[in-house]
Amino acid sequence: MNSQATDQNYMARAIQLAKKGHFTTHPNPRVGCVIVKNNQIIGEGYHLVAGQPHAEVNALSSVKPTNASLIENATAYVTLEPCSHIGKTPPCADALVNSGVKRVVVAMLDPNPQVSGRGVKTLLDANIDVSVGILEEQSRALNPGFIKRMEKNRPFIRVKMAMSLDGKTAMSSGESQWITGSEARQDVQRLRAQSDAILTGTGTVIDDDPSLNVRLKPIDLGFEEDQFESCRQPLRVVLDSHLRIQSSAKMLCLPGDTLIYTCNGDNDKIKELSQSGAEVKVLTTSHISLHDVVSDLAAREINEVHVEAGATLCGALLSEQLVDEIIIYMAPTILGGDAKSLFNLPALQLIKDKIDLDIKDIRAIGKDWRITAIPNF
């Protein structure tokens, strides 16, 4: 096996490890690390929870104390550039320098422009050989939200919709439960669990009174029974221009936080909702700006937003080019011409104005089909 193939092999293992933090690292990125000596893995680790040790430290610590000297002159493979600043934990670049490794292979640089390259510089200044770019595309796929927030100052936005075979999401009355089967709904629970926030509109809250929570147990996500007591609940975000949501809404009675964006400064209503557990953020504009909302969510360290909303909000996000991924569950049923469509969009007059999509994946989920698409803006 040549050196490039060897590097790819060990980096693939580091990526596999990083995926173990898929549901838990918020707001930190998912990172994996492997320590190799004489073509053998002697240590490995991954980041699990913010505030706890990072992947590099866990990998170094996993080497048996009696074999700690093996780390000297070893090679470390890490999916993201080791951090070089002091946050909740010490810099990982320093930990690697102090460990005695002679080479570090990095899949991708830190996407944060303020720190990108500093970890590599720390390693180079310590005369450690550094290689960058091994399986970079696969490493970027681990953290679409973290990267989007660092590079574009907004979260990665994923829109989930369920539709019939004729492209309808609900009956004309608004009735929509349930278009898809239980397997698809269980799959959606995993999408919620990996997200930092679930976004919806006031119409959905009033019509459906949804919970918008994760109803899985940690064991359902692949964790051991005693590893976590419960699943993390994403922040519930409601866009409610006129503050029509009621303090009795189901989501306000459930574990987890709810954030309401509004243009209505009614102090009595705000106090009532606050007493029910919601945070109400009053915008100073006459209407809710989606760009302002996503910027504010980024400032709150929200990496991935999962959207479960009606055609109006989903259409507005699409029109503003704020949708990064669309996941549609298509059920083998027909709802008819009067039923509601997927997206409310301004009328398109010319074929050149259509929104093209790249289909990334199609697979069966129970009796339904899940389609994953990326808009081409």
Q: Are strands 103-106 and 129-132 parallel, antiparallel or unpaired?
A: parallel
Residue identified by tokens 């590097």 is 7
127 Cβ contact partners less than 8 Å away, ≥ 6 residues apart: none
Question: Is 214:187 a contact under the CB 8 Å cutoff?
Answer: no
Identify whether 56 is a catalytic site residue.
Answer: yes
- Please state, in angstroms and rounded to a whole number, the distance separating the CA atoms of residues 377 and 374: 9
Task: Provide CB contacts within 8 A for 3, sequence distance 6+.
Answer: none
Residue with structure tokens 């580091």? Answer: 14
What distance in Å separates the CA atoms of residue 198 and residue 307, rounded to the nearest whole number?
6
- Residue 17's alpha-carbon distances to 56, 235, 290, 332, in angstroms, are 12, 26, 35, 37
- Selected catalytic residue, list 56, 304, 308, 325: 56
CA 200, CA 310: separation in Å to the nearest integer?
8
Per-position DSSP letters for 233-294, written without gaps between them: PPEEEEE-TT----TT-GGGGSSS-EEEEES---HHHHHHHHHTTEEEEE-SSSS--HHHHH
Active site positions, annotated: 56
